[in-house]
Amino acid sequence: MRKQFVVIGLGRFGTSVAKTLTSLGHEVLALDKNEQAVHDIMNDVTQAVQADAREEDTLRALGVRNLDVAVVAIGDDLEANILITLMLKEMGIPYVVAKARSAQHGKVLEKIGADKIVYPEQDMGIRLANNLIRTNVMDFIELSLDFSIFEIIAPSKFVGKTIGNLNLRALYKINVVAIKKGKERIVIAPGANELIEEKDILVIVCNKKALEKLPD
């Protein structure tokens, strides 16, 4: 469904959110007090406006209150970030996402009603670190640019469940072609009733993207 967004603050984060939403087919009003920032994004969003978002009248004149989602992407100016988040919630926007600098800042945003609080730098750092130390994949054979056969240590969330229970093909788009159980035993083409046990090695065929979605 096509949704209507307003993105306030067109730094690197806000710009990237606004452009991505537009490229996904949504309507995006991009707002910044800085003329250059507005000019730079003009051709990549539905509407770009130069305005100070602390001015409630301006937000009302732009019809912001009727939009589905607001993203407050102002970083340095804490006061503006908090005030604008509060105003947007008071206007009745159903879903307001605010960018926080610190845990304390996040707490304030939560108290004033932000529906989602993001910490872009921290989140990116955590994701990268997890990616770097992900040890689940033991080996792989590339079948094509996208698909590979991987050997992964069974994620702990899978242990004690059957392949059927986990609904792996539907949920993660992965096919389990074999399960190595210790050094001696291997179950080829396991059926839906096959139980996954601790330390099992799963031999799977899947898209690399699907692999990233698997739990650790």
Least distance from C-beta 28 to ligand ATP, angstroms? Answer: 15
Whose CB is nearest to ligand ATP? 75
Judged by beta carbon, residue 8 or residue 28, the one nearer ligand ATP is 8
Strand partners, 152: 137, 202
CB of 132 to ligand ATP, least distance (A): 22
List residues near ligand ATP by CB under 6 A.
Answer: 8-14, 31-34, 37, 52-54, 73-77, 80
Q: Which residue lies nearer to ligand ATP by CB, 53 or 204? A: 53
Are residues 139 and 203 in contact, defined by beta-carbon separation less than 8 angstroms?
Answer: no
CB-based contacts of 26: which residues, under 8 Å, 6+ apart?
A: 2, 3, 4, 5
Q: How far is the CB of 129 from ligand ATP (least distance, A)?
A: 20
Dihedral of CA atoms 17, 23, 25, 27 in degrees, nearest 10, equals 50
Residue closer to ligand ATP by CB (options 96, 206) is 96
Q: How far is the CB of 19 from ligand ATP (least distance, A)?
A: 13
Closer CB to ligand ATP, 76 or 184, in the complex:
76
Q: How far apart are CA 136 and CA 116, in angstroms?
A: 30
From the number of C-beta atoms within 10 Å of its C-beta (0-12, 13-18, 19+), residue 61 rates as exposed
